[in-house]
Amino acid sequence: MALRSSRRTQRGGRVATKSKSNNYNPMPNRNGGSRSGIPLHCCDGEVELWGLCYSIADTTEIDLHSNQLSGEIPPEIGNLTNLELLRLSTNQLTGEIPPEIGNLTNLETLSLSMNDLTGEIPSTIGNLTNLEHMDLQANQLTGGIPSEIGNLTNLRGLYLRLNQLTGSIPSSIGNLTNLLTLYLDRNDLTGEIPSSIGNLTNLDYLDLGSNDLTGEIPPTIGNLTNLNVLNLHYNQLTGVIPEEICNQGDSSPYLYNNQLCPPYPDCISEEDIGSQDTFNCSLFIKAPDSGPQRPPVPRPQPNPFKPSPYDPNAVSIGGMQRGGRVRVKKTLGGHRSRDNNVNKRAQDNPKGKFKK
């Protein structure tokens, strides 16, 4: 018969009870069901999980990490609405995270890391508004990071690294102003780093490395003055590194293996810049600012009715210009002009009379 207690904590695969009982089951069944193979019959107000009966009213902690548990997480886990800690890390659990996990609104710690969980992170995770620590790293989770994660404003640690998550980082992540650590590295995330990341001013560790992030580093990164580690390496970030990066706390951020363009801020060493693909950097180079430019002066157009006598290609109305000389049919004084000084002579005689 399984143990029933008024309050129980499952740690290290053994049951620690705070009430006296002679019915002691030392280990949970790794595959579910009772260890003897006889089906369990839990009492009303209890839930069977991995061969143990848990009181719905009194169970506040379940810690079964490193117990070689296999199979799926039972949806009945959502009945334990008074749970404050659920740790099932380092097992062989498979299948999807049940959406019923969103019923555990008193949960403060959720650790499902280092299993073989698949599927998407359920949007119901946003119901866990008391959560302070969420660790889902090192699984095979796919799909995007749900925007509802921005509801978890009490989070201090968020670990989603080493999965197969896709899509962009939701801008709602900027709501998590109590975060100290944010691990999103080693996924397949795309899109730009949201500018709302600059709201996370308490961050000590920010790791977005080894994804497919694009676009420019937002200047709001400079708001993260408490950072000790900033890791943006192995992405496809482009453009010029904003000078504001010198204001954030990590004096030696990991920026290598991107497409970041010179000139680089003086606060970033060549070692931190590392290898960059600068093939497209000409698109981001700005011409030096030489002050306001005057509009170009329009070039005067030749007057066809008054051609220049020095233009060998011009044709006059009163005569023809050939080989640099003007031949005038007849002047006012009855004489023909034989040289290019006709215009000058006309200026000397404003009345149009030529000297003989």
Same-domain status, 87 and 227: yes
Same-domain status, 119 and 205: yes
Same-domain status, 182 and 228: yes
CA–CA separation, 28 and 316 (whole Å): 110
Same-domain status, 75 and 16: yes
**Residue type (1 letter), 9:** T
Give domain status of residue 169, yes or no. yes
Residues whose CB is less than 8 angstroms from the CB of residue 210 and which lie 6 or more positions away in sequence, other chains included: 185, 186, 187, 233, 234, 235
Phi, psi of 334 (to 5 degrees): 85, 5
Report the number of distinct structural domains present in the chain: 2
pLDDT in tens, the chain (356 residues): 333 333 344 433 333 333 222 333 345 555 554 444 555 688 999 999 988 999 999 999 999 999 999 999 999 999 999 999 999 999 999 999 999 999 999 999 999 999 999 999 999 999 999 999 999 999 999 999 999 999 999 999 999 999 999 999 999 999 999 999 999 999 999 999 999 999 999 999 999 999 999 999 999 999 999 999 999 999 999 999 999 999 999 999 999 999 999 999 999 998 899 999 998 898 665 545 555 555 555 555 555 555 555 455 545 444 444 444 444 444 444 444 444 454 555 555 554 544 44
Q: Estimate the share of the chain in helix, then strand, then coil, as percent rounded to the nearest 5.
A: 15, 20, 65
The residue among 265, 283, 301 that closes a domain is 283
Same-domain status, 235 and 317: no
Phi, psi of 92 (to 5 degrees): -120, 40
CATH number at residue 136: 3.80.10.10
The residue among 266, 283, 300 that closes a domain is 283
Same-domain status, 350 and 249: no
The residue among 283, 298, 324 that closes a domain is 283
User: What are the tens digits of pLDDT across the range 14-34?
Assistant: 333 332 223 333 455 555 544
Same-domain status, 65 and 183: yes
Same-domain status, 316 and 276: no
For residue 337, the enclosing domain spans: 310-356
Give domain status of residue 62, yes or no. yes
Give domain status of residue 261, yes or no. yes
Same-domain status, 129 and 203: yes
CA–CA separation, 113 and 122 (whole Å): 15
Whether residue 175 contacts residue 197, with contact meaning beta carbons closer than 8 Å, is answered with no
Same-domain status, 101 and 236: yes
Give domain status of residue 246, yes or no. yes
Same-domain status, 321 and 245: no
